[in-house]
Copies of this chain bind each other. A is one copy, B any other.
């Protein structure tokens, strides 16, 4: 993998920093590979640095003391994952977990070098602000859904989003996995899927959900 190509391609500030900063970033960065299911980052204690995603997909989620999960957002290829470097941001008081949902290839920029350059280069600090703002927008969106949408609407939206993400009408997902995405309980998901199934919206089989009526799901999700 040509790491310098991806640094130049995925970091919008690349042309605005001087050659010595570019050299320092290139020297410190490294290609990394994660098998589907691997954990890239486990809470604040962990400080791997930024990941520039070249291919694959990661899921960024929160876990409560009781082990309940909720997905905050996903990152796809060409996205930059900042929260794996949350140690460099003093006021981040929450733990996020990041796992590879597919085999994932990335360039890792260690936290130390990013922290140093980010304090020196205004274009890097500006980019970091933009990343933070985007992720905060994602989290606000999830919060508004959680607060103000009934669970049937949230589940319908989730199934439609997954179908678009996977580019398939058939989703390979357990009820437990869906519950972990939505911050819900497996029983609640199973009950609602049973209702969706009775309405002819989906067909549920072991570990698979097939979308039968996309228009119906869309109407429900509004």
Contacts and interface: CB of A to CB of B under 8 A. Distances in A.
A183 B141 contact: no
Contacts of A132: 129, 132-133, 136
Interface SS majority for chain A = helix
B137 A136 contact: no
Contacts of A91: 130-131, 133-134, 137
Contacts of A142: 143
Interface stretch (A2-10, A98-106, A116-124, A206-214): A116-124
B62 A144 contact: yes
A96 to B, nearest CB: 9
Contacts of A66: 148
Given A119-B122, A125-B125, A139 B143 contact: yes
Interface string A59-90: 00010101010100000000000000000011
